[in-house]
């Protein structure tokens, strides 16, 4: 709860975090230039096979994707109307491949391992005195931890309001969500101050 990471013992879980992040970065940059829907479909198929090999269940995957799936659907429909169905197909395949690829890395790599990679990458800048690599990694880790927590908070607010018989609307959902997010941001700031 409140984390993308899904513990497991697959070869993807055991793979070095730096390698996974580098492959994700290169694949993401490369896919932006691909315009052939068959290649995009092939990449998406490979990502789906990797997700299967990771041992992540369909239910865990759907819990992470159900909110974003509506945004992807709206974007694809808008692209189909504004441009063409073929372009919409390419956009949909590209976004799905990138989204599932990022989710694959997030679900098979703990935040601690990602922070270690970031500290290693920032070492040259720390030696120059430009950044505090541990502090930047801590902010990165706390931010990654906060993202799935927002979804959990949203669900908790919806359930609490439904229990009181209130219908969900942007205002009644947004105000408590904003207050909780600001409180969490203050907790993060306090944690950073404590690290100084």
Residue 187: per-residue pLDDT: 76
Residue 1: per-residue pLDDT: 43
Residue 192: per-residue pLDDT: 65
Residue 162: per-residue pLDDT: 79
Residues 6 or more apart whose Cβ sits within 8 Å of residue 95 = 72, 75, 76
Whether 112 contacts 141, CB under 8 Å: yes
Residue 146: per-residue pLDDT: 72
- Alpha carbon distance 92, 76 (integer Å): 6
Domain ranges within the chain, ordered by starting residue: 11-109, 114-195
Residue 170: per-residue pLDDT: 65
Angstrom CA distances, 65 to 15, 57, 96, 175, stand at: 24, 12, 10, 24
Q: What HEC string does the chain produce?
A: CCCCCCCCCCHHHHCCHHHHHHHHHHHHHHHCCCCCHHHHHHHHHHHHHHHHHHCCCHHHHHHHHHHHHHHHHHHHHHHHHHCCHHHHHHHHHHHHHHHHHHHHHHHHCCHHHHHHHHHHHHHHHHHCCCCCHHHHHHHHHHHHHHHHHHHHHHHHHHHHHHHCCCCCCHHHHHHHHHHHHHHHHHHHHHHHHHHC
Would you write out the chain's pLDDT as a tens digit for each of its 196 residues? 446 788 888 999 999 999 999 999 999 899 989 989 999 999 999 999 999 999 888 888 887 787 778 888 899 999 999 999 999 999 999 999 999 999 999 899 988 899 899 899 999 988 888 888 888 887 787 777 777 677 777 778 878 877 887 776 666 777 787 787 778 777 777 766 776 5
């Amino acid at each position: 709860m409140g984390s993308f990471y899904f513990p497991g013992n697959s070869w993807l879980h055991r793979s070095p975090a730096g390698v996974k992040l580098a492959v994700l970065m290169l694949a993401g940059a490369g896919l932006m230039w691909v315009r052939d829907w068959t290649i995009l479909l092939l990449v998406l198929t490979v990502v789906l096979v990797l997700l299967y090999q990771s041992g992540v269940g369909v239910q865990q995957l759907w819990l992470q994707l159900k909110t974003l799936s509506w945004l992807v659907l709206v974007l694809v429909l808008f692209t189909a109307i504004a441009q063409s169905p073929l372009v919409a197909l390419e956009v949909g395949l590209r976004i799905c491949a990138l989204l599932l690829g990022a989710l694959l890395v997030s679900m098979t790599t703990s935040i601690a391992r990602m922070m270690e990679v970031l500290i290693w990458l920032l070492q040259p800048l720390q030696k120059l005195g430009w950044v505090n690599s541990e502090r930047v990694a801590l902010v990165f880790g706390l931010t990654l931890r906060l993202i799935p927590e927002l979804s959990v908070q949203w669900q908790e607010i919806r359930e609490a309001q439904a229990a009181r018989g209130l219908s969900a609307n942007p205002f009644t959902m947004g105000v408590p969500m904003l207050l909780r997010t600001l409180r969490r941001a203050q907790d993060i700031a306090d944690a950073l101050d404590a690290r100084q």
